[in-house]
Amino acid sequence: MKPLLHAVESSGPASPAIPFYAPAGHECALFELAWRRRLPLLLKGPTGCGKTRFVAHMAARLGLPLHTVACHDDLSAADLTGRYLLKGGDTVWTDGPLTRAVREGGVCYLDEIVEARKDVAVVLHPLTDDRRILPLERTGEELSAPQSFMLVVSYNPGYQSLLKALKPSTRQRFVAIEFDFLPPEQEIAVVAAESGLSPERVRPLVALAGRLRALKGHDLEEGVSTRLVVYAAGLMASGLPAGEAVLAAMIEPLTDEPDVRAALVEVAKAVVG
C-alpha cells in the first residue's frame, strides 16, 4: 500500500477485542482522521488483501459498532434502508443495516459496493456530502447522521467493467485508500500470527503466493489472496502435509481448468516442495 501521510503510524499489538491488523503504511492514521472529520472512506484493492480486516480493526480500535453489508447483484436500496414487513398481522417498518447505522452511529461498511444495484448509489449520495442525511421516502423521515457515524465502502478494481464500475460522481465523494498485498516479510509475519505456523514454514507459502500473483491476467483471473495463504498455513499447523494444504487452499480455489491446475501444481512443487 502506498504511504499517504507523513506521521509515523503503528497499530501496536492487538488486544483480544481488536482484530489483528498489520499496517502497511499510514492507513490507520488516515482512517481515524477521516472519522474525526466526518469524511466517507473508499477502500480499493484486490480480493483478500486485508480491506475487511482493516475496517474491523479500526472500528474496534475506535470503539465503534460495525455494520457490515456484503454487496451482491440483487442488493437494492431498500435492502439497505429498510421496508415494511408483516408481523403478527400488522405492517411494521423494519430498518435496514444502513438505517440502523445512521440511527445508532458507528461504521457502516459496504463490501464490494460495485456489485450492488445502481439505486444504492442514489441513497448514499446525501450521506457523503456535508448534509450527512438519509431520507426515507417510505416513512417520510429524514435522518441526520450522528457524529459517530462513518460510511466506508470497498471494491476490487480488478473486477471493474463497463457494466460494473463506480461512477466518478460517486467516487469523488470519498477519501480513498489503495490497498495491495503486503511486502513478503510483512506478509510472512501476518500469516504466521494468524495461523500459528512458524515464520520459517510460512516463508515458502508467501513465496509461492508471489509467483501465483504474477500469473494474474495470464493463466489466472485473480492472484492468490493473503486469506488463502493463511488457510494453507492453518491446515499445515493442524498437521496436513504442505503439498495437500497448498493444493486445497492455494490452487484449487483459483481455477477449474485441468491444464492450468497442473501447471500451478508444478509451480508449487518447485517452490514449496
pLDDT tens, residue by residue, 49-81: 899 999 999 999 999 999 999 999 999 999 999
Distance of CA 16 to CAs 3, 188, 227, Å?
27, 21, 20
pLDDT band at residue 223 using 50, 70 and 90 as cut-offs: confident
Q: Where in the chain does DSSP place strands (E)?
A: 41-44, 66-70, 82-87, 90-95, 106-111, 133-136, 141-144, 149-155, 175-178
Cβ-based neighbour number of residue 228 at 10 Å = 23
**Which residues are registered as beta bridge partners of 133?**
144
Written as nine digits, the cell of 262 is 497442473
Would you call 19 helix, strand, or coil by DSSP?
Answer: coil
Rounded distance between C-alpha atoms, residue 188 and residue 26, angstroms: 20
**Higher local confidence (pLDDT), 109 or 160:** 109
Rounded distance between C-alpha atoms, residue 52 and residue 154, angstroms: 8
Residue 219 has a pLDDT of: 75
Rounded distance between C-alpha atoms, residue 127 and residue 143, angstroms: 10
Written as nine digits, the cell of 178 is 489503495
Distance of CA 264 to CAs 137, 254, 260, 268, Å?
53, 9, 6, 6
Residue 3 has a pLDDT of: 35
List CB contacts of 264: < 8 A, sequence separation 6 or more.
212, 219, 251, 254, 255
Rounded distance between C-alpha atoms, residue 115 and residue 123, angstroms: 15
- Which of these, 266, 200, 271, 186, lies nearest to 233 by C-alpha position? 200
pLDDT band at residue 1 using 50, 70 and 90 as cut-offs: very low
pLDDT tens, residue by residue, 120-176: 999 999 999 999 999 999 899 999 999 999 999 999 887 655 456 788 889 999 999
Would you call 67 helix, strand, or coil by DSSP?
Answer: strand
Rounded distance between C-alpha atoms, residue 123 and residue 78, angstroms: 9
**Whole-structure pTM value:** 0.85
**Higher local confidence (pLDDT), 87 or 270:** 270
Taking all residues of the chain, what is their mean pLDDT, rounded to a whole number? 89
